[in-house]
Every structure is written in structure tokens, then in C-alpha cells.
Amino acid sequence: MQFLITQRTTTTPGPNVTFDCPACKSDGVAGETAAVEELNRLFGLVPLMTSDWVTIRCGSCRRYFASSPSPDELAQMSRSDVSEMIANWQATNVDFLVKFCVIVSIVGGVVPFLGVLFGLIGVLCTFKSRSRWRIAAQVGVGISLLSTLAVIVFVMIPNHKS
């Protein structure tokens, strides 16, 4: 599948900003900002979609953080605003494995019992997160519980009586 869709990323370095890094707990570190543009093409020819995002790299621990404001906007922001924004993003960031559980609970929600298990993991892991994944996890558990309940009421109970 890899050759079907090709990606080309263009990174444009932006101005440096000063912030407090939530990862290595260094205060007032220099962060290198960059605007990243990813162009996906089908067979390397047909443009499919472009995704843009902004990264800030901690000058101390070299870790990357995502940012919704552009590098120029970041340069205008105060140190505390930049730090707060990064800390907030950390709080809404959801691990890949958790996203996987949430997706399985929604897609696999029609399969009784299986969806409930993954859905519960998803709900527990996104409990503290303020992202849309928390809502998605609850939806997943809802679907799974309904299908499980349907099987118990319409399949298991009638069979038990006869």
C-alpha cells in the first residue's frame, strides 16, 4: 500500500519562542517553531489532501509539541501563553493505543461483549482527557452495551426458557 500513496513533507522553520517545557520541566527554554505541510498524492501524481500543522521543539529535551497557532502567532504570544497552550495540548493528547480501543469499541460495538471490553478501556483511559476521544469512547461503550443487551434479551433469555 505504501507506494500507492506518497507523502511529501515541507518543513518551514519559524521564529524561536521561549516557553516552560512540560516534558523536561525546564523553565524558559528556547523552542524552535516550524510549520509542516504534508501533501499526499495517489501514485505520486493525483493530489489527495494536504495537512498542515505547527510544531515546537524544546531546545532542552528535543521533544516535539503540536501547536494550533502559527509560528508567527506563537512569536507574538507571551511565554506564559505559549507554556499554557502546550500544557493544554498535553492534557488533550490521547495515546495511539487508547484511540485504537475506542475505535474497536465503536466499529466492533455490534459484536456483543467484545466492544464492551475495549470501550471500557477507552472510557477509563480518556477519563481525564478533555478531547473528543472521551465522547467517542462513551459512544463506543453505548453501542457495545446496546448490542450486548440485545443479544442477552433476544437470544440468550428465549433460548434459556425452551
Is position 21 an interface residue for Zn ion (rule: CB under 5 A)? Answer: yes
CB of 112 to Zn ion, least distance (A): 46
Cell numbers for 58, please give them. 524544546
Is position 24 an interface residue for Zn ion (rule: CB under 5 A)? Answer: yes
> Which of 17-25, 38-46, 72-80, 132-140 is the region at the interface with Zn ion (rule: CB under 5 A)?
17-25
Is position 39 an interface residue for Zn ion (rule: CB under 5 A)? Answer: no
Q: How far is CA 150 from the centre of its chain?
A: 32
> Which of 19-27, 41-49, 94-102, 150-158 is the region at the interface with Zn ion (rule: CB under 5 A)?
19-27
Instruction: Give the span between the Cα atoms of 29 and 18, in whole angstroms.
Output: 5
Is position 82 an interface residue for Zn ion (rule: CB under 5 A)? Answer: no
By beta-carbon proximity to Zn ion, the closer residue of 6 and 60 is 60
Is position 61 an interface residue for Zn ion (rule: CB under 5 A)? Answer: yes
Full DSSP string of the chain: -TTTEEEEEEEEEEEEEEE--TTT--TTEEEEEEEEEEEEEETTTEEEEEEEEEEEEETTT--EEEESS-HHHHHHS-HHHHHHHHHHHHHH---HHHHHHHHHHHHGGGSTTHHHHHHHHHHHHHTT--SHHHHHHHHHHHHHHHHHHHHIIIIIHHHHH-
User: Which amino acid belongs to residue 30?
Assistant: A
Binding Zn ion (rule: CB under 5 A), the pick from 17, 56, 58, 121 is 58
By beta-carbon proximity to Zn ion, the closer residue of 24 and 97 is 24
CB of 131 to Zn ion, least distance (A): 22
By beta-carbon proximity to Zn ion, the closer residue of 42 and 61 is 61
Is position 87 an interface residue for Zn ion (rule: CB under 5 A)? Answer: no
Binding site for Zn ion (CB under 5 A): 21, 23-24, 58, 60-61
